[in-house]
Amino acid sequence: MADDPNVPHAPTPPQAAADKPPSATPSEPLKGEVSRTDAPGAGVSAAPVAPSREEPPPPLPANPSAATTAVTNGTSSATGQVTPPASAASAAAVSKPAAPAAEAVASVAPAAPKAAPAAPKPAVSAASAAAAPKAAAPAGAEASATAAAAKAAHAPAAPAPPSGPTDPPPPADAVVPAFIMTLQRVLAGSVTQVSYYVGDWAIIVPVAQLPAVARHLRDAPDAAFDFCSDITATDWPVRKDARFDVVYNLYSTRHRQRVRIKVKVGEQEPVPSMADVWPAANWLEREVWDMFGVNFTGHPDRRRILMPEDWQGFPQRKDYPLEGPGELLMENPIDWLKLRQAREEADIE
């Protein structure tokens, strides 16, 4: 009986996966079905397998000596290029059969770059290397000794310590002040030298003429130096007979002019005090005595003004110890008292 499309049919029972044609067979079993692995063709992919393609072997190098390396190494799996030729030792090592796992790793990993071979060093024999320092040592020592001798021969001699300031004379076009010319005319021999430096006039006076010169410069109408602005000293140990230069800086408030009086005295030579001429000299002479030990005589109150009264030595002298007065301390107090009494007696005399 022909099938009538209008008549409903009973549902067809489902077929097993093995009874279906190969093209309709799914890759995985359906739910509720069991895969039969023992059936013919079970587990095999239904997709057609392409035939294996045979590739031609890599070309061999034209150099016969590198043929072994090219055949052994083949091409790089990463770059597809022929690996560079290796040394004979590495070629021999590659020619040996390696483990399968090592071959698989080598076929996947790219070839590591090889470092360029180092330049060959010149061969030096042990005998020449040992003899080189011995031969050069005497020559170097001799050269250094010769250079030292030449340097010592050409080295300039140490200059002698200065014996005092230069006290330059006035230039030819400088006009000597009138009060200096008057002083030279009134007190003959009172000025041994006239100096001019950096715009200031100075006169060098013998210590015996100091009181007369000071009073004249204070009282003379053309001088009128009524103010003693400073008294200082400089130490020149090279000059044994006149070690100190005592300098009086004077100023005239009337004429607005300046002048310096300089006297050269020995270490223990007495210098008359100018405290009765200029009252300011009282404290200024005390400072010079405290720092340099200049022996001012006739001073109304000669004692230390900066250092303690029992201080030993004079700090501004050039021979004063750099470590302080510890080198001058006396262990016996009686010796210190005797030294102090001797100085006081010398001042009185």
Residue 114 lies in a domain: no
Instruction: Specify which residues 75 forms β-bridges with.
Output: 82
3 state DSSP class of 271: strand
Residue 218 lies in a domain: yes
Residue 242 lies in a domain: yes
> What CATH number does residue 248 fall under?
3.30.460.80
How far lies 119's CA from each of 88, 115, 116, 145, 285, in Å? 19, 12, 9, 40, 85
The gap from C-alpha 241 to its chain's centroid, in whole angstroms, comes to 47
Instruction: List the domain range (segments joined by +) for residue 292.
Output: 178-348
Residue 93 lies in a domain: no
Number of domains in the chain: 1
Residue 122 lies in a domain: no
CA distance 185 to 199: 23
Residue 111 lies in a domain: no
CA distance 140 to 133: 10
Residue 288 lies in a domain: yes
- The pLDDT of residue 289: 97
CA distance 166 to 164: 7
Pairing, β 271-272 against β 257-265: unpaired
Residuewise pLDDT in 10s, the chain (349 residues): 455 556 555 555 555 545 555 554 455 554 444 444 444 554 444 455 566 666 677 666 666 555 454 444 455 555 555 555 555 444 444 445 444 444 444 444 445 445 555 555 555 455 454 444 444 445 566 777 787 777 766 777 777 778 788 899 999 999 999 999 999 999 999 999 999 999 999 999 999 999 999 999 999 999 999 999 999 999 999 998 999 999 999 999 999 999 999 999 999 999 999 999 999 999 999 999 999 999 999 999 999 999 998 888 899 999 888 766 665 565 566 777 787 788 788 877 6
- The pLDDT of residue 337: 76
Residue 127 lies in a domain: no
- The pLDDT of residue 106: 42
CA distance 230 to 250: 7
> In the numeric block, which tokens belong to residue 260?
């310096």
CA distance 291 to 217: 27
Q: Give the global pTM.
A: 0.52
- The pLDDT of residue 331: 59
Picking from 260, 164, 274, 251, the residue whose alpha carbon sits closest to that of residue 203 is 260
